[in-house]
A and B are shown apart, each in its own frame.
Chain A
Amino acid sequence: MSLAFQASQALPRGTDYLRILPELVLSIFGMIIMVLDPVVDQRRNQKALGTLALIGSLAAIASTLWQARAPGLAFWNMVQVDTFSVFFHFLITTITAVVILTSYEYMEVQQIRVGEYYALILFGAVGMCLMSSAVELVLIFIALEISSISTYILAGFRRRAAISSEASIKYFLLGSFATAFFLYGVALMFGATGSTSIPTIEQHLRSGSIPVLAYVAIALMFVGLGFKVAAAPFHVWTPDVYEGAPAPIVGFMSTAPKAAVFAVLLRIMFQIHAPGRLGLIWVAAALSMTLGNIGALVQQNVKRLLAYSSIAHAGYLLVAFAALPQNGIPSAMFYTASYAAMNIGAFAVVSHFGGAGERYVTLEDYSGLGRRSPVLAAALTLFLLSLIGIPITAGFFAKFYVFSAALQANLVGLVIIGVINSAVAAYYYLRVIVVVYMHDPRDESVLPAVPLELGAALAITALTTIYLGLLPGRVLDYASRSAGDLLH
Chain B
Amino acid sequence: MLHLVLFLIFGAICVAGAVNLLVQRHPINSALSLVAVMASLAVEYLLLGAEFVAAVQVIVYAGAIMVLFVFVIMLLNAGEEARTGGSRVAILFGIPGMLAGSLLVAWVLITHSGTQEVSAGALPGPPREIANLLFHDFLLPFEVTSVLVLIAIMGAVVLAARPESIEQQKREG
Q: Direct contact between A and B in the complex (CB less than 8 angstroms)?
A: yes
The answer, among B108, B163, B170, for a CB contact under 8 Å with A160, is: B163
Q: Is the CB of B173 within 8 A of A41?
A: yes
**A74, B148: Cα distance in complex, Å:** 21
Interface of B is mostly: helix
Q: Which residues of the other chain, A, contact B116 by a CB distance below 8 angstroms?
A: 194
Would you give the shortest CB distance from A288 to chain B, in whole angstroms?
Answer: 18
Q: Given A12-B139, A153-B158, A153-B159, are A42 and B151 also a contact pair (CB < 8 Å)?
A: no
Query: Which positions 113-153 of chain B face chain A at CB distance < 8 Å?
Result: 113-116, 118, 132, 136-141, 144-145, 147-148, 150-152
Q: Is the CB of A194 within 8 A of B159?
A: no
The answer to whether B165 has its CB under 8 Å from any CB of chain A is yes
The answer to whether B84 has its CB under 8 Å from any CB of chain A is no
Q: Is the CB of B115 within 8 A of A116?
A: no
Q: Mark A126-154, 1 if CB is under 8 A from B, else 0.
A: 11001000001011001101100110110
Q: Is the CB of B155 within 8 A of A212?
A: no
The answer to whether A59 has its CB under 8 Å from any CB of chain B is no
Q: Is the CB of B139 within 8 A of A116?
A: no
Q: Is the CB of A112 within 8 A of B151?
A: no
The answer, among A120, A213, A215, for a CB contact under 8 Å with B151, is: A120
Q: Given A43-B169, A43-B170, are A149 and B152 also a contact pair (CB < 8 Å)?
A: yes
The answer, among B104, B108, B147, B155, for a CB contact under 8 Å with A153, is: B155
Residue of A nearest to B122 (CB): A194
Q: Is the CB of B132 within 8 A of A2?
A: yes
The answer to whether B80 has its CB under 8 Å from any CB of chain A is no
Q: Which residues of the other chain, B, contact A193 by a CB distance below 8 angstroms?
A: 115
**A10, B164: Cα distance in complex, Å:** 51
The answer to whether B157 has its CB under 8 Å from any CB of chain A is yes
Q: Which residues of the other chain, B, contact A146 by a CB distance below 8 angstroms?
A: 144, 147-148, 151
Q: Given A6-B136, A79-B140, A138-B141, are A145 and B148 also a contact pair (CB < 8 Å)?
A: yes
Residue of B nearest to A107 (CB): B166
The answer to whether A78 has its CB under 8 Å from any CB of chain B is yes
Would you give the shortest CB distance from A298 to chain B, in whole angstroms?
Answer: 20
Would you give the shortest CB distance from A44 to chain B, in whole angstroms?
Answer: 8
The answer to whether B83 has its CB under 8 Å from any CB of chain A is no
Would you give the shortest CB distance from B126 to chain A, in whole angstroms?
Answer: 11
* A contact residues, total (Cβ < 8 Å): 53
Q: Mark B74-116, 1 if CB is under 8 A from A, else 0.
A: 0000000000000000000000000000001100110111111
**A211, B108: Cα distance in complex, Å:** 10
Q: Is the CB of B112 within 8 A of A211?
A: yes
The answer to whether A191 has its CB under 8 Å from any CB of chain B is yes
Range of interface residues on B (Cβ < 8 Å): 35 or more
Q: Which residues of the other chain, B, contact A112 by a CB distance below 8 angstroms?
A: 166
The answer to whether B154 has its CB under 8 Å from any CB of chain A is yes
Q: Which residues of the other chain, A, contact B158 by a CB distance below 8 angstroms?
A: 116, 120, 153, 156-157
Interface of A is mostly: helix
**A204, B105: Cα distance in complex, Å:** 21
Query: Which positions 381-397 of chain A face chain B at CB distance < 8 Å?
Result: none
The answer to whether A75 has its CB under 8 Å from any CB of chain B is yes
Would you give the shortest CB distance from B147 to chain A, in whole angstroms?
Answer: 6
Q: Given A127-B147, A212-B112, are A78 and B152 also a contact pair (CB < 8 Å)?
A: no
Q: Which residues of the other chain, B, contact A442 by a CB distance below 8 angstroms?
A: none
Q: Which residues of the other chain, B, contact A160 by a CB distance below 8 angstroms?
A: 163-164
Query: Which positions 10-61 of chain A face chain B at CB distance < 8 Å?
Result: 10, 12, 20, 27, 34, 41-43
Query: Which positions 81-125 of chain A face chain B at CB distance < 8 Å?
Result: 111-113, 116, 119-120, 123-124
Would you give the shortest CB distance from B8 to chain A, in whole angstroms?
Answer: 18
Q: Is the CB of B154 within 8 A of A34?
A: yes
Would you give the shortest CB distance from A244 to chain B, in whole angstroms?
Answer: 13
The answer to whether A168 has its CB under 8 Å from any CB of chain B is yes
Residue of B nearest to A212 (CB): B112
Q: Which residues of the other chain, A, contact B112 by a CB distance below 8 angstroms?
A: 211-213
Q: Is the CB of B157 within 8 A of A116?
A: yes
The answer to whether A431 has its CB under 8 Å from any CB of chain B is no
Query: Which positions 147-180 of chain A face chain B at CB distance < 8 Å?
Result: 149-150, 152-153, 156-157, 159-160, 165, 168
Q: Which residues of the other chain, B, contact A79 by a CB distance below 8 angstroms?
A: 140
Q: Which residues of the other chain, B, contact A213 by a CB distance below 8 angstroms?
A: 108-109, 112-114
Q: Given A34-B154, A76-B139, A116-B158, are A159 and B163 also a contact pair (CB < 8 Å)?
A: yes
The answer, among A6, A113, A150, A194, for a CB contact under 8 Å with B115, is: A194
**A342, B145: Cα distance in complex, Å:** 33
Chain A contact residues, CB within 8 Å of chain B: 2, 6, 10, 12, 20, 27, 34, 41-43, 74-76, 78-79, 111-113, 116, 119-120, 123-124, 126-127, 130, 136, 138-139, 142-143, 145-146, 149-150, 152-153, 156-157, 159-160, 165, 168, 188, 191-194, 211-213, 215-216
The 4 closest A-B pairs by CB, nearest first: A159-B163, A153-B155, A212-B112, A75-B140
* Given A146-B147, A188-B105, A216-B104; 10 other pairs, CB 8 A cutoff: A74-B140, A78-B138, A78-B139, A78-B141, A79-B140, A113-B165, A139-B138, A160-B163, A215-B108, A216-B108
Chain B contact residues, CB within 8 Å of chain A: 104-105, 108-109, 111-116, 118, 132, 136-141, 144-145, 147-148, 150-152, 154-155, 157-159, 161, 163-167, 169-170, 173
A selection of 25 A-B contacts at a CB cut-off of 8 Å is A20-B140, A27-B147, A41-B173, A43-B170, A43-B173, A74-B140, A78-B140, A112-B166, A116-B158, A120-B154, A123-B147, A126-B147, A136-B141, A142-B141, A142-B144, A142-B145, A149-B152, A150-B151, A150-B155, A160-B164, A192-B115, A194-B115, A213-B108, A213-B113, A216-B108
